[in-house]
Amino acid sequence: MSTRRQILLAIAVVVVAAAAVAVYAATTGNGEKAGGAGGHAHGAGPAAAGDQLQPVHLEPEAARRIGITYAAAERKPFRRVVATVGNVTYDETRLANVNPKIEGWVEHLYVDFTGAPIRRGEPLMDVYSPMLVAAQEELILARRLAEAATEGGGERASRNAQDLLEAARRRLRYWDIPEDEIARIERSGAPRKTLTLRAPATGIVVEKNVIEGTRIMPGMDVYKIADLARVWIEGEVFEKDLSLVVLGQPARVTFDAYPGEVFEGRVTYVYPTVAVEARTGRVRVELPNPQLRLKPGMYAKLELVAARGHDALMIPRSAVHFTGDRALVFVRDRAGGLVPRELSTGLVAGDEIEVLAGLAEGDVVVSSANFLIDAEANMGRSMASMPGMGTPQEQGDSAATKH
- What span, in angstroms and rounded, lies between the C-alpha atoms of 331 and 72? 10
Tell me the CB-side half-sphere exposure of residue 364, using CA atoms within 13 A: 10
Tell me the CB-side half-sphere exposure of residue 327, using CA atoms within 13 A: 16
- What span, in angstroms and rounded, lies between the C-alpha atoms of 205 and 227? 9
User: Do 267 and 249 contact (CB within 8 A), yes or no?
Assistant: yes
- What span, in angstroms and rounded, lies between the C-alpha atoms of 95 and 228? 9
User: Do 369 and 67 contact (CB within 8 A), yes or no?
Assistant: yes
Set out the domains of the chain in order of their start, with CATH numbers.
Answer: 55-77+311-398 (2.40.420.20), 81-91+228-307 (2.40.30.170), 96-226 (2.40.50.100)
Provide the residue-wise pLDDT of the chain in tens; the chain has 403 residues. 455 555 555 555 444 445 544 444 444 444 443 343 333 333 333 333 344 556 777 777 777 777 778 888 878 777 778 889 999 999 999 999 999 999 999 999 999 999 999 999 999 999 999 999 999 999 999 988 888 887 776 778 888 888 999 999 999 999 888 888 899 998 888 898 998 889 999 999 999 999 999 999 999 999 999 999 999 999 999 998 888 888 988 999 999 999 999 999 999 999 999 999 989 999 999 999 989 999 999 999 999 887 665 677 888 877 787 877 788 888 888 777 788 888 878 777 767 787 888 788 888 888 776 666 666 555 554 444 444 444 444 444 544 444 4
User: Do 266 and 284 contact (CB within 8 A), yes or no?
Assistant: no
- What span, in angstroms and rounded, lies between the C-alpha atoms of 352 and 371? 18
Distances (CA, A) of 381 to 42, 46, 96, 374, 375: 17, 10, 72, 11, 10
- What span, in angstroms and rounded, lies between the C-alpha atoms of 343 and 81? 24
Amino acid at 198: R
**DSSP of 207-238:** EE---TT-EE-TT---EEEE-TTEEEEEEEEE
Could you tell me the sign of the dihedral formed by the alpha carbons of 112, 117, 93, 256, in that order? positive
Task: State pLDDT tens for residues 335-355.
Answer: 777 888 888 787 777 677 878
